[in-house]
Amino acid sequence: MTTTAYKASGTQGGTAAGITSIALSDDVRSSHNTAGTVIATNFTFGLPAGATIDGVEVNVESSAVSGQWTQTVQLYDTVPIGTTESTAAISSTVDAVRAYGGAAVLWGATLTPAIVNSSTFGVQVTATRESGNGGTRFGVDFIEMRINYTFTPPAGRTYVRVGGSMVPKTTNVRIGGTQVSKTLKVRVSGVFI
């Protein structure tokens, strides 16, 4: 099994205030005062076609500014997909990272490389107030995700990681408008292979 690095989202949305701050763990939070959502998408995973998705892991850094809250997390691809995971009774005003999913957890969704590589794929975090008055608030500071997958290159093909994406070692390129086959040279221990 291969695991991508944890990645922050490239695009944020939803119904909470201050959503653009969730790409960094910087103590600048999106905030909710009754209930709201934060949607993080465009993680740019670059999985190779033909990979099998084994699991999705999501970390959400959040805190209750006041009151007590339930945080619910669900995968997203233009709409929420699959099952939810949640943490109830969040009342600490100190940010904590809560982990959801796992290396072998598919969230009840059928996932393919085309789906997880899409700019519309991501996660939706919903906060719902359990107790407290109208002045209570909940904040999401940071969201990150990683994908666990299995990939066996087709017979006779070698793949290399380029810029976070798996690409065939032999790739067609255009030179002066003419398509030619180009072998990518990879340096291993100082030797090009």
Domains defined along the chain, listed by start = 2-150 (2.60.120), 159-192 (no CATH)
Cα 97 to Cα 11, 62, 83, 90: the distances in Å are 20, 7, 20, 12
Q: Are 124 and 14 a contacting pair, CB within 8 Å? A: yes
Residue 14 CA to residue 139 CA, distance in Å, equals: 13
Residue 171 CA to residue 48 CA, distance in Å, equals: 14
Instruction: Output DSSP code: residue 17.
Output: B
Q: Tens of pLDDT along the chain (193 residues)?
A: 888 888 988 888 887 766 667 888 888 887 766 677 889 999 989 999 899 999 999 999 999 878 888 999 999 999 999 999 999 889 888 999 999 999 999 999 999 999 999 999 999 999 888 887 766 678 888 999 999 999 887 776 666 666 556 666 655 555 555 555 555 554 444 544 4
Residue 16 CA to residue 27 CA, distance in Å, equals: 16
